[in-house]
Chains A and B, each alone.
Chain A
Amino acid sequence: MSALFELADFRVRIGSRQGVAEIVNGVDWGVDRGETLAIVGESGSGKSMSVLSATGLVPSPPARFEGQARFDGQDLLTLDEKSRRSIRGRHIGFVFQEPMTSLNPLLTIGRQMTEAPRQHLDMPAEEAARKAVELLSLVGIPEPAQRMRAYPHQLSGGMRQRVMIAMALMCDPEVLIADEPTTALDVTTQAQILDLVKRLQERFGMAVVWITHDLGVVADFAHRVAVMYAGRIVEEASTKDLFASPSHPYTRGLLTARPRLGEPDVELATIPGVPPDPRRLPAGCSFWPRCPYRGDARCETEMPPLREVAPGHLTRTFYELEPDRGDAA
């Protein structure tokens, strides 16, 4: 298969005086037009690093990359920075968690929005400004023409995130990468932003890569989910299959560790311990020291391969878990 944007055996290592950190350890996935892939993991799982490195947003050195990151068949890793920047600017849009830190506080919204199309598409200033106003209106910014002259601090957090989304769409990207875009927002605003991106995708048909720590956010939004742990995908499936029959002990742990609305008396499962230090990954399966199922002798010495348990449903464990998901405690 060849997807619009895909990673193949992608690896990221960062050397430091304390040793080499193995941040991303062989990740494969692909996402096509009109599709949303959610990459879910806790802090340090490599979810953001895999995506940001693949698009050239992580400086190398100190980071070292291996494998392939292909956009439309072209390996971004083998390109020089100038060509990579041009692909990124024209075809890949980004929305980050903190709109305040990703917007330049000294430049007006209008100036920041028109920069990319002017640089990458040679769009005349007036046309870029007209397009910016239309996109601002599209993402629900009231009085968009006036907002073009506003500075980021004059907008609320939710409004800034809408501006970021509009900005990411300026060059009509084929891929939208969203890195925890709703984590800093209030729940009613988060619902508005999720709804907005969903509708934009339905209309424009972009591929969306949604990076998040919260499985709940992606449940009725993503088509596929890849769960990452210690730099590897431990389970990947359609969203429906992942929630209906999670087959990796870590995914089960994540699902049963979150309180579910309306079920406050179900005691939460806990995953004991903490994720491993990427400079000292355990031999064998990285999840083994915290795994409630461990017992197979291979766990300690062998990394389980990612195998298919059902069509399109991949898992990285030696165990065949019972379909019941409440037993992970």
Chain B
Amino acid sequence: MSTPLLEAIDLQVHFPVGGGGLGRSGKVVRAVDGVSFRVERGKTLGLVGESGSGKSTIGLSILGLERPTGGRVLLDGAELDFSRAGLRELRTKATMVFQDPNASLNPRRSVGASVREPLEIHGLHRGREARKARVGELLDLVGLSTRFEDRYPHELSGGQRQRVGIARALACEPELIILDEPVSALDVSVQSQIMNLLKRLQAELGLTYLFIAHDLAVVEYMSHEVLVMYVGKIMERASRDSLYRSPRHPYTKALLSAIPSAEPGGQERERMLIEGEIPSPISPPSGCRFRTRCPWAVAECAEVDPPLAAMDTSDAVACIRADEIAAGAPPNEAPTPPPIPSSEARDELS
């Protein structure tokens, strides 16, 4: 097996909180709590989960923007070096595209200056002419012409700004791009332009993507393999097709079932509405973190922290009842929605 471009082994990112800082309260946010995965060259690993699942923190920690507090990250087989020089080198190999292109572009810099900046920082394409040519090439690559070079972010649409963000990320010819919700702030008609652009760039330049998003349909469209995260841990890892066709973890099932069907009548499919909310990563439930909302939870789930199968099998699920559920074990009593009083009762209300 060839070396994966990116490999995380038992990655942990914990933050101390409260008590006047420096973790005196002893409380710790376990944003990422022992996560292992690999991304093969030229492929896209989708990272999906709701807010607080730790998916963005994983992206940040791979670039050294958050320091891992445990575990290892290997890029191209070499452990990440968080020294000054190491980070500098890292950021020519791995770059990031953020959700909100408004917040990630400097409003006082023209498009040309923004795209040129990484070249200047890393001393690439030295010389005025060479840099200008490279900036033109990058703008062309993302579907913007050199006409845009002198414009400022406020003169651009959201989609155009995101294209500038992508051009910046491509400037140093990275191998890995971390895409953190790159289309979720965009209108539907613009989302598809950006997704198709990202796919084309991957095919042309052989890029490897870590694609972080909360939208399962978007992740399905973009990814080869998918990790489902919940409160800092991986619940399920599977190839795209097997995850979407036969989700095995109850949380994956719940997520897929929560998506509004794209068509009327689609709701006739099996619907599973989970109750409650995501627990705090400061004090996650004992055992399996999803057990407090899981329709299949049993007493044992509170005691056993279910492991994810070894790295070498392609699909893995962190659930002690996965086999039973796959074999058709019924969920516990279906959650009953809170009763809504009759209209007579309502008259009494008012």
In the complex, the answer to whether B260 meets A158 with C-beta atoms within 8 Å is no
Chain B 170-196, CB-CB to A under 8 Å as 1, else 0, gives 000000000000000001111111011
A189 CB to closest chain B CB, in angstroms? 7
B192–A258 CB distance below 8 A:
yes
B189-224 CB mask vs A (1 if < 8 Å, else 0) is 111110110000000000000000011111011000
Min CB distance A159 to B, Å, is 8
Would B192 and A269 count as touching, CB distance under 8 A? yes
Q: Given A42-B188, A219-B260, A268-B221, verify A191-B273 contact (CB < 8 Å).
A: yes
* Residue-wise interface mask of A (192-209) relative to B, using a CB-CB cutoff of 8 A (1 in contact, 0 not): 101110011001110000
The answer on a CB contact under 8 Å between B266 and A220 is: yes
In the complex, what residues of B have CB within 8 A of residue A279's CB? none
250-274 of chain A: CB within 8 A of chain B: 253-254, 257-262, 264, 267-272, 274
- The complex places the Cα of A131 from the Cα of B159 at a distance, in Å, of 46
Q: Is A213 an interface residue (CB 8 A)?
A: yes
Q: List chain A residues, Cβ under 8 A from B261.
A: 216, 219-220
Residues of A within 8 A of B262 (CB): 215-216, 219, 258, 260-261
Residues on A with C-beta less than 8 A from B214 are 186-187
Whether a CB of chain A sits under 8 angstroms from the CB of B259 is yes
Pairwise interchain contact A270-B196, C-beta atoms closer than 8 A = yes
Is there an interface contact between B259 and A216, defined as CB atoms closer than 8 Å? yes
A70-103 vs B, CB cutoff 8 Å, 1 = contact: the mask equals 0000000000000000000000000000000000
Q: A140-B338, A156-B277, A271-B189 are in contact. Are A217 and B260 (CB under 8 A)?
A: yes
**Cα distance, A235 to B196, chains bound together (Å):** 27
Given A203-B346, A258-B217, A268-B195, 19 more pairs with CB closer than 8 A = A42-B187, A43-B187, A131-B350, A138-B338, A139-B338, A191-B259, A203-B342, A213-B188, A217-B260, A219-B264, A220-B260, A220-B267, A240-B265, A243-B263, A257-B192, A259-B218, A269-B192, A271-B193, A274-B159
Stretch from B66-74, B250-258, B295-303 contacting the other chain:
B250-258
Q: How many residues of A contact B (CB 8 A)?
A: 57
Query: Least Cβ distance of B203 to chain A in Å?
Result: 12
Q: How far is the CB of A92 from chain B (nearest CB, A)?
A: 16
The docked-state distance in angstroms from the alpha carbon of A203 to that of B187 is 34
Known: A213-B188, A219-B264, A269-B192. A188 touches B346 (CB 8 A): no
CB of B275 closer than 8 Å to a CB of A: yes
> In the complex the two chains form, what is the Cα distance from A270 to B186 in whole Å?
13
Q: Are B346 and A204 in touch, CB under 8 angstroms? A: yes
Say whether B274 faces chain A, with CB atoms less than 8 Å apart: yes
Q: B293 — nearest CB in chain A belongs to which residue?
A: A188
B19 within 8 A of A: no
CB distance from A260 to the nearest CB of B (A): 5
Q: Does A221 contact B (CB under 8 A)?
A: yes
Instruction: Tell me the minimal C-beta distance from B177 to chain A in angstroms.
Output: 19
Interface presence of B50 (CB below 8 A): yes
Contacts of A28 in B (CB 8 A): none
Q: How far is the CB of A271 from chain B (nearest CB, A)?
A: 4
Contact A219 B263 (CB under 8 A): yes
Q: A186-B50, A189-B277, A270-B192 in contact; A261/B216 too (CB < 8 A)?
A: yes
Write the nearest CB–CB distance from A94 to chain B, whole angstroms.
Answer: 19
Min Cβ gap A15→B in Å is 21
Can you list 16 A-B contacts with CB-CB less than 8 angstroms, sorted by A residue number? A138-B338, A138-B340, A156-B277, A172-B350, A189-B277, A190-B260, A195-B273, A204-B346, A220-B260, A220-B265, A220-B266, A220-B267, A240-B265, A258-B192, A261-B259, A262-B244
- A186-B51, A243-B264 given as contacts; is B349 within 8 A of A199 (CB)? no
Residue of B with least CB distance to A140: B338
Chain B residues numbered 238-292 whose CB sits less than 8 Å from any CB in chain A: 240, 244-245, 254-267, 273-275, 277-278
Complex Cα distance, B240 from A139, in Å, reads 36
A280 to chain B, nearest CB (A): 14
Chain A nearest Cβ from B197, distance in angstroms: 9
B106 interface hit (Cβ, 8 Å): no
- A108 at interface (Cβ–Cβ under 8 A)? no
Chain B residues with CB under 8 A of A156: 277
A187 to B221, CA, bound (A): 18
Q: Does B341 contact A (CB under 8 A)?
A: yes
Question: A302 near B: Cβ within 8 Å?
Answer: no
Chain B positions within 8 Å of A268 at CB level = 192, 195-196, 221
| Interfacial residues of chain A within 136-170, with CB under 8 A of chain B in the complex | 137-140, 156, 158-159
**How far in angstroms is the closest Cβ of chain A from B337?**
7
| A261 CB contact (under 8 Å) in B217, B264, B274, B275 | B217
